[in-house]
C-alpha cells in the first residue's frame, strides 16, 4: 500500500518536476549557450549556425557605458528602495499595531497598492512627476509648486540629468513610486512578526520598567531580525529584476538616467535582435538574484527540518 | 497626546498612499475641456463619464483577453498546486526537500533568463502570440508558488488523518478527494487570489509573448495607450483605473486571503 502510494505520488508530481526542469533549468542553459554565441542579428539567428565566441558578449557589455550606467542605477535604486520600503514598512506596522480605533482601515489602505499592477503605478506616478518640459506635456508636482510660489522646487524629475557621483537623481521619482507600492507589503510582514511575539515577554520588560521606546528597540526589533532579513531578500530580488514599473513610468530616460538591466535586455533582444547580448544581460541578472536567493532558500528549507 | 501623534502619522502616510488614487479618480471623471495642464490637481467641475467610456472602447477587447488568460490559468495552476502540495507534504520520498527547493528557485528567477528560449519554444509549437501560449506560461511558472502554498497548508493537517484513510482502504486519489480536498477551501482561495492578481498584473510575458494588439492583455494595452502621444489624459487615467479595477475589487472583498498569499510568497509559511 505504502509503496503503491509512493509510486503514484511520484508520478503525480513528475510532470511538474519535468516542466520546471525544462522551462526553468533547460531554458536557462539555453540562454547561457546563446550568451556565448554570435547571434547578434536576425540573419545570424535564421542561419542558425552556432559560433562560440566565449565571453565576448560579456566583455562588450562591461565596456558598454550604457550597461555601466545600468549597474550603478541598479545599485542606488536597490539601496534607497530597500531603505525606504523597510523604514516606512516598520513605521506603518508600529502605528497600526497600536490598535487604535480605525487601525484596520489604515492597514487595508496601506496594503492596497500591492493589489495593483506595476504598470498602473508607473502610469499614474509618471503623471504626478511629469515635469512639463514638452509641449502639451502634463505637469504634476511642478504645477503645484508653482501655484504655491515654491518655484525653486520645480525640477526635471525623472527627465533630469543631475547626478550625485554615480547616483542619477532622476531615479528618485521611480524610487518613490516603488516604495509606494511595496511598503504596505513590508508592513504586513512586520505585523505578522509583531503579533507573533509572546505577550509575557513584553509584560516582563514592562515590569522591569522599560519604556515603550526601549521595549521596541531592545526587545521587539531583535526578535524581528528574521523578518527584516526576509524582507531584505524578497525586496532586494524584486529590485534587481525591476522592469514593468520603469518601463511604464519613465523608460530609459535621457542619457539612460533611469535605465536598468531589464530594460536594456528587453531592447537588445526584442527591438534590435541582438539576442546574444540580451542573453548575457539575462544571465548576469540571474547571477545577481541567485546570490541573494539561493542561501535564503537553503536556510529556510533547513530551518523547516528542525 | 500619544494618540494624537499616532493619528497624525497615520494620516500623513495615508496622504502619500492616497495621492495617486486621487489623481487617478479626479482625472478619470473630468470631461475633455477640463483636462488642460493647469487643472491637474483640481476635482472635476462637471463629473463626466466620457473618458471612462472612451477608455472602455479602447481597452475593452484587451480586458476580455486578460479575463480569458487569467481565469483558466488561475484554475489550472490551483489544481496542479493542490495535488503537488499533497505529495510534497504527505508522501515521503527521497530527496523530496531538495527537489522542492529546486522547484522553488523557479519562482525567484528573473524571467529574462528564460525568455528568449521560451519564445523560440512557443514559436515551434505554434503557440506564440496566442492567449493559450500565455496560459501555458503562467501555469508552468506558477507551479512553485502554488505548490508552496498548498504544501504549507497540508503540512498542518495531521498525518494520522491521511494514514487512517489509507488504513480504511482508500487509495491515493480517494484520500485526496475525501480527506484533503474538502478542507482545502481556504488554501484554494489564497492561491486563486494570488494567481489571479499576479497573472492579471503581469507585464513582461504579456508584452513579449503576444505581438498583435488584438491578442494583448490589458496591461500591455495600457502602456501602449499611455505611450501614444494623445493628450486625452482623462482617457489614460480611466484606462489605468480599468486595468486596476478587477484586482482592486478582489482585494476589497477578500483582502484577508490576499495577505496570506503575500506572506506565503516570502517562503516561510
| CB-closest option in A34, A111, A132 to B37 | A132
Q: Does B25 touch chain A (CB under 8 A)?
A: no
Tell me which residues of chain A, numbers 45 to 64, contact chain B at a CB-CB cutoff of 8 Å: none
Mean pLDDT for B215-221 is 94
The CATH number for A258's domain is 1.10.3720.10
Distance CA B16, CA A116 (A): 16
Which pLDDT does position B267 carry in this prediction? Answer: 47
CB distance A282 to B115 below 8 Å: yes
By mean pLDDT, which of A143-147, B75-79, B112-116, B132-136 is the weakest?
A: A143-147
In a domain, A293, yes or no: yes
The yes-or-no verdict on residue B230 having pLDDT over 70 is no
Q: Which domain holds residue A220?
A: 66-305
| CB-closest option in A8, A113, A125 to B17 | A113
In a domain, A28, yes or no: no
Residue contact B87–A9, C-beta within 8 A: yes
Distance from the Cα of B101 to chain A's closest Cα (Å) equals 7
Using DSSP, state whether A130 is helix, strand or coil.
coil
Residue contact A114–B262, C-beta within 8 A: yes
Q: How confident is the model at residue B256 (pLDDT cuts 50, 70, 90)?
A: confident
| CB-closest option in A115, A126, A296 to B247 | A115
The yes-or-no verdict on residue B263 having pLDDT over 80 is no
Which pLDDT does position A42 carry in this prediction? Answer: 85
pLDDT tens series, chain A, 306 aa: 678 888 999 999 999 999 999 999 999 999 999 999 999 888 888 887 888 999 999 999 999 999 999 999 999 999 999 999 999 999 999 999 888 888 999 999 999 999 999 999 999 998 888 887 665 667 788 888 888 888 777 788 888 888 899 999 999 999 999 999 999 999 999 998 888 888 888 888 888 888 888 888 888 889 999 899 989 999 999 999 999 999 999 989 899 999 999 999 999 999 999 999 999 999 999 999 999 999 988 887 776 654
Helix, strand, coil percent values for chain B (each to nearest 5): 80, 0, 20
In a domain, A106, yes or no: yes
In a domain, A30, yes or no: no
Mean pLDDT for B143-150 is 94
Distance from the Cα of A97 to chain B's closest Cα (Å) equals 11
ipTM of predicted complex:
0.91
Residues of chain A in contact with residue B13, where contact means CB-CB under 8 angstroms, are 88, 91-92, 95, 106, 110
Query: How many separate domains does chain A show?
Result: 1
pLDDT in tens, B58-93: 999 999 999 999 999 999 999 999 999 999 999 888
Q: How many helices (H) and strands (E) does chain B have?
A: 11, 0
**Across the strands, what pairs with A164?**
A167
Q: DSSP string covering A208-264, please? A: TT--HHHIIIIIIHHHTHHHHHHHHHHHHHHHHH--HHHHHHTTT-GGGTT--HHHH
Which pLDDT does position B37 carry in this prediction? Answer: 67
Residue contact B141–A294, C-beta within 8 A: no
The yes-or-no verdict on residue B257 having pLDDT over 90 is no
Residues of chain A in contact with residue B269, where contact means CB-CB under 8 angstroms, are none
Distance CA B105, CA B119 (A): 21
Q: Does B19 touch chain A (CB under 8 A)?
A: yes
Which pLDDT does position B231 carry in this prediction? Answer: 63
Q: Does B164 touch chain A (CB under 8 A)?
A: no
Residue contact B172–A301, C-beta within 8 A: no
Q: Does B40 touch chain A (CB under 8 A)?
A: yes
In a domain, A131, yes or no: yes
Residue contact A23–B114, C-beta within 8 A: yes
Residue contact A270–B118, C-beta within 8 A: no
Q: Does A125 touch chain B (CB under 8 A)?
A: yes
Residue contact A10–B93, C-beta within 8 A: yes
Q: Give the strand pairing for A163-164 and A167-168.
A: antiparallel
pLDDT in tens, A53-96: 999 999 999 999 999 999 999 999 999 999 999 999 999 999 99
Q: What is the largest CA-CA distance in chain B?
A: 75
The CA-atom distances, in angstroms, between B225 and each of A79, A135, A267, B63, B239 are 32, 18, 19, 13, 8
Mean pLDDT for B215-228 is 88
pTM for the model stands at 0.92
Q: Which triple of cell numbers denotes residue B6? A: 499616532
Distance CA B46, CA A302 (A): 61
The separation between CA B57 and the C-alpha centre of its own chain, rounded to angstroms, equals 24
Which pLDDT does position A306 carry in this prediction? Answer: 45
Residues of chain B in contact with residue A106, where contact means CB-CB under 8 angstroms, are 10, 13-14
Q: What percent of chain B has pLDDT over 90?
A: 62
Residue contact A28–B109, C-beta within 8 A: yes
Domains of chain B are 51-264 (1.10.3720.10)
Amino acid at each position: 500500500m505504502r509503496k503503491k502510494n509512493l509510486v503514484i505520488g511520484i508520478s503525480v508530481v513528475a510532470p511538474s518536476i519535468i516542466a520546471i526542469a525544462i522551462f526553468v533549468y533547460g531554458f536557462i542553459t539555453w540562454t547561457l549557450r546563446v550568451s556565448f554565441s554570435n547571434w547578434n542579428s536576425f540573419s545570424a539567428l535564421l542561419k542558425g549556425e552556432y559560433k562560440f565566441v566565449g565571453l565576448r558578449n560579456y566583455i562588450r557589455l562591461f565596456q558598454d557605458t550604457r550597461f555601466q550606467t545600468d549597474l550603478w542605477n541598479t545599485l542606488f535604486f536597490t539601496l534607497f528602495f530597500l531603505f525606504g520600503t523597510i523604514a516606512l514598512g516598520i513605521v506603518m506596522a508600529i502605528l497600526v499595531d497600536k490598535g487604535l480605533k480605525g487601525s484596520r482601515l489604515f492597514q487595508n489602505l496601506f496594503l492596497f497598492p500591492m493589489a495593483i499592477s506595476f504598470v498602473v503605478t508607473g502610469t499614474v506616478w509618471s503623471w504626478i512627476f511629469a515635469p512639463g518640459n514638452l509641449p502639451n506635456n502634463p505637469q504634476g508636482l511642478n504645477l503645484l509648486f508653482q501655484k504655491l510660489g515654491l518655484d525653486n522646487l520645480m525640477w526635471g524629475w525623472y527627465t533630469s540629468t543631475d547626478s550625485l557621483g554615480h547616483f542619477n537623481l532622476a531615479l528618485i521619482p521611480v524610487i518613490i513610486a516603488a516604495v509606494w507600492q511595496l511598503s504596505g507589503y513590508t508592513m504586513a510582514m512586520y505585523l505578522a512578526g509583531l503579533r507573533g511575539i509572546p505577550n509575557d515577554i513584553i509584560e516582563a520588560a514592562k515590569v522591569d520598567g522599560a519604556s515603550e521606546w526601549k521595549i521596541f528597540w531592545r526587545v521587539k526589533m531583535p526578535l524581528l531580525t528574521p523578518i527584516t532579513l526576509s524582507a531584505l531578500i524578497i525586496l532586494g530580488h524584486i529590485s534587481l529584476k525591476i522592469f514593468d514599473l520603469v518601463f511604464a513610468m519613465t523608460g530609459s530616460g535621457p542619457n539612460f538616467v533611469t535605465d536598468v538591466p531589464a530594460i536594456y535586455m528587453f531592447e537588445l533582444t526584442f527591438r534590435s535582435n541582438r539576442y546574444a547580448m540580451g542573453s548575457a544581460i539575462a544571465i548576469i541578472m540571474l547571477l545577481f538574484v541567485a546570490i541573494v536567493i539561493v542561501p535564503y532558500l537553503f536556510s529556510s528549507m533547513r530551518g523547516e527540518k528542525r | 497626546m500619544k494618540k494624537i501623534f499616532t493619528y497624525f502619522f497615520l494620516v500623513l502616510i495615508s496622504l502619500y498612499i492616497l495621492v495617486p488614487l486621487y489623481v487617478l479618480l479626479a482625472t478619470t471623471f473630468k470631461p475633455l475641456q477640463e483636462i488642460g495642464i493647469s487643472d491637474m490637481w483640481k476635482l472635476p467641475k462637471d463629473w463626466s463619464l466620457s473618458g471612462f467610456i472612451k477608455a472602455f472602447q479602447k481597452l475593452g477587447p484587451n480586458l476580455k483577453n486578460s479575463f480569458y488568460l487569467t481565469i483558466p490559468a488561475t484554475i489550472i495552476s490551483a489544481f496542479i498546486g493542490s495535488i503537488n502540495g499533497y505529495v510534497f507534504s504527505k508522501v515521503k520520498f527521497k530527496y523530496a526537500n531538495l527537489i522542492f527547493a529546486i522547484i522553488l528557485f523557479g519562482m525567484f528567477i528573473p524571467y529574462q533568463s528564460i525568455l528568449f528560449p521560451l519564445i523560440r519554444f512557443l514559436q515551434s509549437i505554434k503557440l506564440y502570440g496566442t492567449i493559450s501560449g500565455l496560459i501555458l506560461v503562467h501555469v508552468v511558472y506558477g507551479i512553485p508558488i502554488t505548490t508552496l502554498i498548498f504544501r504549507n497548508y497540508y503540512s498542518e493537517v495531521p498525518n494520522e488523518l491521511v494514514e487512517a484513510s489509507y488504513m480504511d482502504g482508500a487509495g491515493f486519489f480517494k484520500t485526496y478527494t475525501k480527506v484533503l480536498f474538502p478542507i482545502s477551501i481556504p488554501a484554494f482561495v489564497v492561491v486563486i487570489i494570488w494567481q489571479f492578481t499576479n497573472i492579471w498584473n503581469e507585464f513582461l510575458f504579456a508584452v513579449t509573448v503576444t505581438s498583435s494588439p488584438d491578442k494583448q492583455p490589458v496591461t500591455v494595452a495600457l502602456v501602449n495607450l499611455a505611450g501614444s502621444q494623445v493628450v486625452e489624459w482623462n482617457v489614460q487615467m480611466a484606462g489605468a483605473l480599468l486595468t486596476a479595477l478587477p484586482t482592486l475589487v478582489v482585494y476589497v472583498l477578500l483582502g484577508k486571503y490576499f495577505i496570506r498569499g503575500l506572506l506565503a510568497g516570502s517562503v516561510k509559511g
